[in-house]
Structure 1
Amino acid sequence: MPLYIPRENTGYLGGAVPTLVLVSTDPVEKLPVFQLDAGRPLPCDGWCILAGLTASVVDGPDDAGIFVDGMTSPEEAEERFAWLEAVDRAGGAVVLVVDSHSTVDDWAALAAGGKAQGGFVPAVQRTG
C-alpha cells in the first residue's frame, strides 16, 4: 500500500546527489534500511522515482510506494526546478525516510543508526 507524505514532511536537498528527505513514523514497506558502501548510499533495487513539481512518486516493488506532495506555491518553482535538474543530471536521487524532523546531513550517522530507510533511487526518464 503506498504511503502518502504531505509537503510539510518533505525536504529537497541539493548537492552532487540530490536528496529527497521524507519524515514518517510509519515504515515504508519493502524500502531497505539506509546503508552506505564506501560513503555512497546503496541503490534501492526495484524502486524508481518520478520527480515532479506538484507531486513525486517513489515506486517500489508490487504495491509498495510513496506519494509525495510537491510545491504549494509559485515562489518554490525556481528552487524545485533546480532540484529536478539535479535529479536529471544524477540519474536519480537519494530517498531517505526518517522518523523525525532532524538534520540529515550526516549519511554515516544515519546508516549507523539503523532507523533510516532508503538509498539511491534511479529516476524515470521524462520525455517531451
Structure 2
Amino acid sequence: MPLYIPREDAGYLAGAVPVLVLVSTEQIERLPVFRLDAGRPLPCEGWQFLAGLTASVVDGPGDSGIFVEGIARPEEAEERFAWLEAVDRSGGAVVLVVDSHSAVDDWAALADGGKARGGFVPAVQRTD
C-alpha cells in the first residue's frame, strides 16, 4: 500500500544531485536502508521516481510506493520547476526517508545511523 506524505513533510534540496527528503515514522516496505559507496548514495533497485509540480510518486516493487503532495501556492512554482529541471538533468534524485524534521546534510551520519531509508532513485522520463 503506498504511503501518503503531505507537503509539509517533504523537502526539496538542490545540489549536484537533487534530494527529496520525506519525513515519516511509517516503515516503507522494500525501500533499502540508506547506504553510501565512496560517498555516493547507493541506487534503490526496483524503484523509480515520477517527479511533478502538484504531486510526485516514488514507485517501488509490488504495492510499495510513496505519494508526495506537491505545491499548493503559485509562488512556489518557480523554485519547484528549477528542482524538477535538476531531476531531469541528473536522471533522478536521492530520496531520503527520515523520522524527524532534522538536518540531512551529513549523509555519512545518516548512513551510519541506519535509521534513514532510501538512495538514488532514477526518474521516469516525462514527455512534454
Number of residue-to-residue matches in the alignment: 128
Residues 81-116 of structure 1, C-alpha deviations (whole Å, 9 max, x = no match): 000000000000000000000000010000000000
Instruction: Report whether the alignment pairs 1:28 with 2:28.
Output: yes
Partner of 2:9: 9
**Correspondence for 2:112:** 112
* Alignment partner of 1:98 is 2:98: yes
Instruction: Measure how far apart 1:27 and its partner are.
Output: 1.2
Question: Who is 2:123 aligned against?
Answer: 123
| TM-score, normalised via structure 1 length | 0.99
Regions of 4+ moved over 4 Å: none
Q: Is the partner of 1:88 in helix, strand or coil?
A: helix
SS state of the match for residue 62, structure 2? coil
Over residues 55-100 of structure 1, what are the superposed CA-to-partner deviations in whole Å (9 max), with x where a residue is unaligned? 0000000000000000010010010000000000000000000000
Q: Which amino acid is 2:34 matched to?
A: F
Could you list the runs of 5+ residues in structure 1 that have no partner in the other structure?
none
Q: Summarize deviations over 1:1-26 as a string: whole Å, max 9, x none.
A: 10000000000000000000000001
Alignment correspondent of 1:68: 68
Q: Which runs of 5+ in 2 are unaligned?
A: none
Residue 19 of structure 2 aligns with an amino acid whose one-letter code is T
CA RMSD of aligned residues (A): 0.4
SS at match of 2:68: strand
Query: Sequence identity, in percent?
Result: 82
